[in-house]
């Protein structure tokens, strides 16, 4: 690929500290919450999860929801990450209290998480 | 893979807001700088660059260096990201002023960056 050709490609990069705080919406535009932070796989350098937080939405209050990163898509016109989860799916999703830590050391919890979101495992089999 | 097997795997996740500020060192332990932020590819969700900053080290001052993420490895005992770049390599590396923005829209600059670090392009050909 020549330099001319690559120049035509669009700029697709976003800073990690700009992702933190980005709203999360449904395709309809409804705001669900925001991205609190990302969880990265130290070895591969890939993003594994977005941690979503909620401002009391649905009474979820201070819960944090780890969502497989692959389930979120960036919607440029909305300037938000998009995920289609119903209120009920959000209420039942694996979550932890904001002032506690998810037990990332227990991969069986990550297996359950990926099963819940029907998302392929980022760590590969 | 069974749940039992995956349980034995080690916890390998790190929060994006913990990576920001993590020291960057040479294999020798010399501190070069720190990670200011990460730049992610919005579409793939992969980390493309770490932006390194320097506290006046080598007279680089307020310059920011975008380094292909694949060139950094996490060194657990050091609790730092590791990269082996000499003083001279750091001085000559593509950089921009901390209060300015790198022109990410110009992919030919990214091509140059990857050539400098001899790193395969994250966007694929």
More confident residue, A97 or A26: A26
Instruction: For residue range B61-116, list pLDDT tens digits in order.
Output: 788 999 999 899 988 899 899 999 998 999 899 988 877 777 777 888 889 999 99
Phi, psi angle pair for B62, to nearest 5°: -90, 15
Q: Do B47 and A46 touch (CB under 8 A)?
A: yes
ipTM of the complex as predicted:
0.81
What separation in angstroms does the CA of B118 have from each of A8, B70, B86, B105? 23, 10, 15, 21
A21, A42, A81, A100: which to substitute to probe chain B, counting the most B Cβ within 10 Å? A42
Q: Is the dihedral of CA B24, B26, B27, B28 positive or negative?
A: negative
Q: Contact at 8 Å (CB) between B103 and B86?
A: no
Residue B72 Cα, gap to closest chain A Cα (Å): 9
Chain A residues inside the 8 Å CB shell of B2: none
Residue of chain A whose Cα is closest to the Cα of B108: A3
Mean pLDDT, chain B, as a whole number?
83
Say if A49 is an interface residue toward chain B (CB within 8 Å): yes
Phi, psi of B65 (to 5 degrees): -115, 115
| A74, closest residue in chain B (CA to CA) | B42
pTM comes to 0.79
Reduced to 3 DSSP states, what percent helix, strand and coil does chain A have, rounded to the nearest 5?
25, 30, 45
């Amino acid at each position: 690929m020549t330099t001319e050709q690559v120049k035509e490609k669009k700029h697709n990069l976003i800073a990690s500290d700009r992702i933190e705080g980005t709203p999360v919406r449904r395709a309809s535009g409804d705001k669900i919450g925001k991205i609190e932070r990302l969880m990265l796989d130290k070895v591969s350098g890939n993003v594994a999860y977005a941690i979503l937080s909620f401002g009391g939405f649905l009474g979820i209050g201070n819960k944090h929801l780890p969502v497989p990163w692959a389930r979120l898509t960036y919607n440029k016109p909305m300037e938000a990450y998009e995920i289609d989860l119903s209120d009920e799916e959000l209420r039942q999703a694996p979550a932890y209290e904001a002032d506690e830590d998810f037990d990332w050391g227990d991969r069986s919890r990550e297996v359950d998480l990926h099963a819940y979101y029907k998302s392929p495992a980022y760590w590969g089999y």
